[in-house]
A and B are shown apart, each in its own frame.
Chain A
Amino acid sequence: MERRKFLKQSSLASSLFFVPSFVKAFEQVATSKLGYKRLVIIQLSGGNDGLNTVVPFTNDLYYKARPTLAISKKDIIKVNDELGFHSSLLPLKRLYDNGDLTVINNVGYPNPVRSHFRSMDIWQTATDANRYSQTGWLGRYLDNYANKPYLGIEVDDNLSLALKGERLNGIATKNPKAFFNLSRDPYFKNLVNHEKDAHLSEHNLGYLYKTMIEAQSSAKYIFETTKTVSNHASYPDNKFANQLKTTAQFINSGIETKVFYTSLGGFDTHAGQLNTQKRLLKTYADGVEAFVNDLKSNNTFNDTLVLTFSEFGRRVAQNAGQGTDHGTANNVFIIGGQLKKQGIYNNNPNLSDLDDNGDLKFEIDFRTIYATVLNKWLEVNDEKILNKNFNQLEFI
């Protein structure tokens, strides 16, 4: 084919002519009125020790199980007559006092798995413990209610399973400009226009093409929407705080993105827990407070809900290495300006009724929290996304 003729054809291609069917599918989803409400997920990876985070300081069983690891009454920040925050969580106490925080205790799921990866997958896919899924709960939210990948952004270099859907994947980026520059080569643009094999998407190679197309269409939008807003608010100088800073910058730019995903790792404290957890909880709390203040000063806090979870809690009894082994139920933090039930949401952990491994029994299935967030906050059909009907909670 002659060059000129070819070019003519390829410019035709930029109309819908050669665009593969899975790209067209994006357009066919009606742009539903999704509103302005946003969800920010903070994942504490490694299994945060919930009992040393929100401490049952009047419970003898707690001190008995952790002779050298329990946090003494004098070191905690009391929130009520029975519970107190870890000393690193002073910023969280301020949110608590302000009515911007709900702590949900004893969150878990039936037949708990004590493997990080499996349990994290369970939290991210929201499936039963004995079922495997290739799609995440937020990915399925994108599948059903979004028409563009960038409606879900993970502020990191890699995309978690939580944001992977059947048809759409969320976007992973912490630097919109670099992301945009990478994807804009005309070579790729033309290549996309030439790819017309709809069945490709079923294979690994098709998956590459599909992801390439999503990346291109999203990079441009994210870059152009967010470049006008710079963030001058002050944050601590660490990777986690940077994630939140970027998230705030995105939110304050008015980007259409509904779901943001961030994470803080290192909570797998089998040994030397006290110092490690102290440092990590400080990083968490200081970052979150800066984030909330930033949103408040931009009037976006009331439209934002922050959910913090970890893949499991840790065993009630300490181990021999000044640490704790993998456990089960744990606390979940909900932060927002429109909470219905503020403070401590439910019962304290019951340390007198443990399972055979000496772990806490869960009281609230984490998927009821997801269902509540999907239904009452993002205002979509939670059953369609979770493939099951869960009771709604009353925190929002």
Chain B
Amino acid sequence: MKLKHIQHLYWRAGFGILPNDLEPLKDLKRKAVVDLLFKNSEKISPLNIDTSELNQILKSGGPLSDVERKKIQQLSRKKSIELNMSWMQRMMKPWELLREKMTLFWANVFVCEDNNVVYTQKYNNTLRTFALGNFKDFVNAISKEAAMTKYLNTKQNKKQKPNENFARELMELFTLGEGHYTEEDIKESAKAFTGYSHNLEGDFVLRAFQHDNSYKVFFGETGNFDGADIIDIILKQRQCAKFICEKIYAYFVNDRLNAKHINEMVDVFYRDYNIKSLMHFVFCADWFYDDENIGIKIKSPVELLVGINHLVPIRFENKKQLLYLQRQLGQVLLDPPNVAGWKGSRSWIDSNTISLRLKLPSILLNDAYISKVENDESESMMLAKKQVLKNRVGKQFKIQRDWNFFENCFKQVPSNKLQDYVLMAPLSSTAEQYLSTLNKTSKQEYCVQLMSLPEYQMC
């Protein structure tokens, strides 16, 4: 398999690949490389932060006193940061690379948030569990998650007074897309999800006395439907398979959709809604490796942060700073802007984020210093400048960097080939010329320069 193609695959199915990991894959055929990716993701390793103190309170079964309620909130706030870090950490050192990337993807399809960290962790692990499984099982599981019944008010959806929030978003954002159902479909399906709730520990409970057992008319079918029936009927629509395939294409291939490619995907997915088969098909398709699909995606903030860490492992001594960066870059894990999630692509980029994103590698890896490029500056001037940056910006972030790791992984890569391993977007000739004048610097500094190019923002 071609070097660039393996890198492309690993950027889309993961967060990049290092030269020493790349080497053994070069002689394999495409299918073998893809198979390996799936094989390595067979296991499911849930996130597991310690919530025992919270579980203790939740186990009581309620009703909760005000003190207990407050305690849950307090603990959750603290532990949510821990969960965020734990998820970040997981992506930085993934055991199951593809599964983790899929988990990140699904978290932006089945968007949800909650202030109870026990429920959020459970939810996040459900995403991880079904990430490569069957889509029908996945949607059913999601509809019964405590965090989801809270987030989209299914809990308040009662026979006497239906609440349409979940029914609407289920169709608009999770399965069909806007315009592929009627307001009547929403009203009727909301009835089917009445009574969906959870106990204190976060397990699903169907409150029978709140469930509407009347006949519902949904997509032309009539019956005493429950939530699972509604999901069955939704999945019968080819539009559902198309909707998900479009999302997968935009995320893993190209945000400019190609109708022909997507149609091929729908043919595969509509058969049995097996996510694994679909992804395998995509990663093996010839068009996945077309030049027009390589290095053209704008990295999400998480892809950017995790990608930098992939080259040079970093450790934040102050965890809040990693959280701060997520916020400034516009993507805080577990805290989506709204139920539609992050729009992605160009909407990651505005006047604010672009400056920070370009500066980020140098801030994290080199005390905010990139290179000497200004006219007629003496060595001593540059040293002074570097010191100022280090004091002003670099020291704001308490970070440990493992440059030895980088040096080891890149031992066989000569400096002038570094860009082939660091960048996915082709360099323009002018940028290449510009870079060639900076060659006298060390491999480390050259790496930082490459990572400071807009080209590095692409994958």
Are A195 and B428 in touch, CB under 8 angstroms?
A: yes
**Chain B neighbourhood of A157, CB < 8 A:** 327-328, 330, 352-353
- Asked if B75 lies at the interface with its beta carbon under 8 angstroms from chain A, I say no
Residue of B297, B428, B454, B457 ringed by the most chain A CB atoms within 10 A: B454
Instruction: List, in ascending order, chain B residues with CB within 8 A of A125's CB.
Output: none
Interface centre among B345, B352, B425 (most CB of A within 10 A): B352
Closest to B255 in A: A204
B277 at the interface (CB under 8 A from A): no
**Least CB distance, A151 to chain B, in whole angstroms:** 13
Contact B163 A214 (CB under 8 A): no
B156 & A212 in contact (Cβ 8 Å cutoff): no
Partner of A172, one of B155, B156, B338, B350: B350
The answer on a CB contact under 8 Å between A271 and B156 is: yes
Q: Interface stretch among A32-40, A177-185, A346-354?
A: A177-185
Cβ distance A116 to chain B, nearest Cβ, rounded Å: 6
Whether a CB of chain B sits under 8 angstroms from the CB of A66 is no
Decide if B340 is an interface residue (CB 8 Å cutoff).
yes
Residues of A within 8 A of B430 (CB): 18, 194-197
Q: Is B290 an interface residue (CB 8 A)?
A: no
* Min distance, Cβ A146 to any Cβ of chain B, angstroms: 14
Asked whether A30 is an interface residue with its Cβ less than 8 Å from the other chain, the reply is no
Partner of B454 from A116, A185, A208, A214 at Cβ < 8 Å: A208
B404 contacts partner chain A, Cβ-Cβ < 8 Å: no
A229 contacts the other chain (CB 8 A): no
Is the CB of B339 closer than 8 A to any CB of chain A?
yes
Which residues of chain B have C-beta atoms less than 8 A from A10's C-beta? Answer: 373, 375, 434
Given contacts A115-B178, A212-B358, A356-B183, contact A204 B345 (CB under 8 A): yes
B458 within 8 A of A: yes
* Interface-facing stretch out of A87-95, A278-286, A320-328: A320-328
Q: Is B383 an interface residue (CB 8 A)?
A: no
Give the bracket for the number of chain B residues in contact with chain A. Answer: 35 or more
Beta-carbon nearest neighbor of A149 in chain B: B351
- Is B373 within 8 A of A182, CB to CB? no
In chain B, positions 146-177 with a C-beta closer than 8 Å to chain A are 153, 155-158, 160-165, 168, 172
Contact A191 B354 (CB under 8 A): no
Asked if B140 is at the interface of the complex by the 8 Å CB criterion, the answer is no
Whether A321 contacts B163 by the Cβ 8 Å rule is yes
**Which positions 128-154 of chain A face chain B at CB distance < 8 Å?**
149
Stretch at the interface among A1-9, A56-64, A381-389: A1-9
Whether A191 contacts B355 by the Cβ 8 Å rule is no
**In contact, A159 and B431 (Cβ under 8 angstroms):** no
Query: C-beta contact mask, A1-33 vs B, less than 8 Å → 1, else 0?
Result: 101001100110000001000000000000000
- Given A194-B431, A203-B296, the answer on whether A321 and B153 have CB atoms closer than 8 Å is yes
- Which residues of A sit under 8 angstroms from B419, Cβ to Cβ? none
A208 to B456 alpha-carbon distance, docked (Å): 11
Q: Within 8 Å of chain B (Cβ to Cβ): is A345?
A: no
Q: Which residues of A contact B437 (CB under 8 A)?
A: 1, 3, 6
Contacts of B458 in A (CB 8 A): 204-205, 208
Q: Which residue of chain A has the shortest Cβ distance to B372 in the bound complex?
A: A186
| A186 to B162 Cα, complex, angstroms | 59
Could you tell me if B153 and A179 are in contact, using CB atoms closer than 8 angstroms? no
- Find chain A residues with CB under 8 A from B428 CB: 195, 197, 200
User: Cβ of A200: which chain B residues have Cβ within 8 Å of it?
Assistant: 428
| Bound complex: CA A356 to CA B184 (Å) | 10
Q: Are B374 and A191 in contact (CB under 8 A)?
A: no
> B65 — which chain A residues lie within 8 A by C-beta?
none
Of A209, A214, A216, A321, which contacts B156 at CB under 8 A? A321
Q: A207 to chain B: which residues have CB within 8 Å?
A: 298, 346, 349
- B434 & A205 in contact (Cβ 8 Å cutoff): no
The CA-CA distance from A113 to B186 in the complex, in Å, is 13
List B residues at the A interface (Cβ < 8 Å).
Answer: 153, 155-158, 160-165, 168, 172, 178, 183, 255, 296-298, 327-328, 330, 338-340, 345-346, 349-356, 358-359, 362, 370-371, 373-376, 393, 425, 428, 430-431, 433-434, 436-437, 449, 452-455, 457-458
The 4 closest A-B pairs by CB, nearest first: A320-B161, A321-B156, A159-B350, A182-B355
Q: 15 A-B pairs, CB-CB below 8 angstroms?
A: A1-B433, A158-B352, A158-B353, A171-B352, A172-B350, A179-B352, A183-B355, A185-B358, A186-B374, A191-B431, A214-B351, A215-B355, A319-B156, A320-B157, A326-B168
Besides A6-B434, A172-B351, A216-B355, 12 new A-B residue pairs in contact (Cβ under 8 A), listed by A number: A10-B375, A115-B178, A157-B330, A171-B352, A173-B352, A182-B355, A191-B453, A191-B454, A203-B296, A205-B425, A208-B457, A215-B354
